[in-house]
Structure formats: C-alpha cells, structure tokens
Amino acid sequence: MLSDIRFAELRRLVENAGWVLVRLRGSHYVFRRPGGMIYVVPVHHGKVRYVYYREAKKLIEEEGG
C-alpha cells in the first residue's frame, strides 16, 4: 500500500494542468477546470491519500494535459 502524499504536491500537479482552486469547505478542497469539471480532494493534516493523486494524474492524462 502506498503512503499518503503532501497536499502541496497534488495541488501543484492540478494547478499546473490548468485547474483552479475554487472553494475550500472544511477539509475538502474543490478544484475546477475550464469546461466545468469539478475535482474534490479531502485533506487531513496536510496529507492526501495516494489514490487522489493517482486519480488526478489520470484525469489530466485523459484531458491531454
């Protein structure tokens, strides 16, 4: 099982791909890309489960970014 990663790494990945942080609600960061797709990431103690990082990479690859 892969360990958690720092939220800063995930945020850098999605923002470099053109996603924008549009809302923070509790521990959930909400990103939106041009075109309207939303991606929600729960963050606890500055860490994110690796599965969210992997999912973000997959979304970025699918959109060609």
Supply the pTM of this predicted model: 0.86
Q: By C-alpha distance, which of 41, 47, 55 is closest to 9?
A: 47
Q: Token digits for 21?
A: 């942080």
- The packing angle between helices 50-63 and 7-16, to 10°, is 10
Q: Write down the pLDDT at residue 1.
A: 56
Q: Write down the pLDDT at residue 32.
A: 95
Higher pLDDT, 49 or 2: 49
In the chain, what are the domains?
A: 5-63 (3.30.920.30)
What would the pLDDT profile of 8-60 be if each residue is shown by its tens digit? 999 999 999 999 999 998 999 999 988 888 999 999 999 999 999 999 999 88
